Amino acid sequence: MKERSRRRFFTYLVRSRRLGRSLGVDLVPFKTCPYDCIYCELGRTTHKSATPEDYTPPKDILREIRESLEEISPPDHITLAGAGEPALHSRIGEVISGIKEMTDIPVALLTSGSLFWMKDVRASVQDADLIIPSLDAGDDPTFQCINRPHKDISFEKMVRGLSALRESYTGTLWLEVFLVEGVNAEEENILKIRTRAERLSPDRIQLNTLDRTAAESFVRAVPEDKMKRIASLLGPRCEVIGG
């Protein structure tokens, strides 16, 4: 649940199932993303992009973060997420380093994971304490169906990017898998995802499913008992966070 004051443009408080009490930070305009996921609870993507740009100046974002921290009790995390893909901000590295200079609160990055095939993007997020990318598919047809990526992003390019991030990043990596009944939740889908996930060796795998209105009306949540069975297939590091 978000709590945004009238004078705040980039930050909001949110109580997260996995990150506790978090200060969320928006880095890009609403629904600016390389994906147009069928399950997105914010609706269809209105600006599909795979090109990082210099959006809001980092100094303005950092000023608001500092002001927010002065007004609230310390959150558990400062989370770069919001209503778009934060890695599309070409100066995300400056935002992360600026936060690290002002506070010891851990910085988390919630990301689609779609842009880590770019060396500059990988380099810019290395100082985050926690990165949570998505992996909703184990093959290209499912990837195209569920994530509807920008034309410049293939499944293999995305997976290579995640692998390159895992090789260079020394912080904590959690992998989020969003499951949609009838799309990517059957055993053959899960086994393909497991193969890809094992190569990434994340610290955790987190399963999520729909609990609000999705971008597409045909999207259905996976039942809780099935989510638990899927978690067992993905191994002891897997946990159910939704469903």
- What was the pLDDT predicted at 243? 59
Using an 8 Å Cβ cutoff, are 221 and 190 in contact? no
Dihedral-angle region of residue 182 (phi above 0 means left; psi in -120 to 50 means alpha; beta otherwise):
left
Distance of CA 182 to the CA centre of its chain: 23
Beta-strand pair 11-16/20-25: antiparallel
Residues listed for the chain: 243
- Identify the sign of the CA torsion 208, 213, 216, 218: positive
One-letter amino acid of 2: K
The two tokens of residue 31 are 């629904």
Which residue has tokens 């047809």?
141
Ranges under pLDDT 70 in the chain:
1-8, 243
Count of CB atoms situated within 10 Å of the CB of 159: 21
- What was the pLDDT predicted at 158? 98
- What was the pLDDT predicted at 164? 98
In this prediction the pTM is: 0.94
The pLDDT tens digits of the residues spanning 54-92 come to: 999 999 999 999 999 999 999 999 999 988 999 999 999
Q: How far apart are alpha carbons 8 and 49 in whole angstroms?
A: 26
Q: Which CATH superfamily is domain 2-176+211-216 in?
A: Aldolase class I (3.20.20.70)
b/e for 95-110, b at 16 or more Cβ within 10 A? bbebbbeebebbbbbb
Nearest to 176 by CA among 203, 195, 150: 203
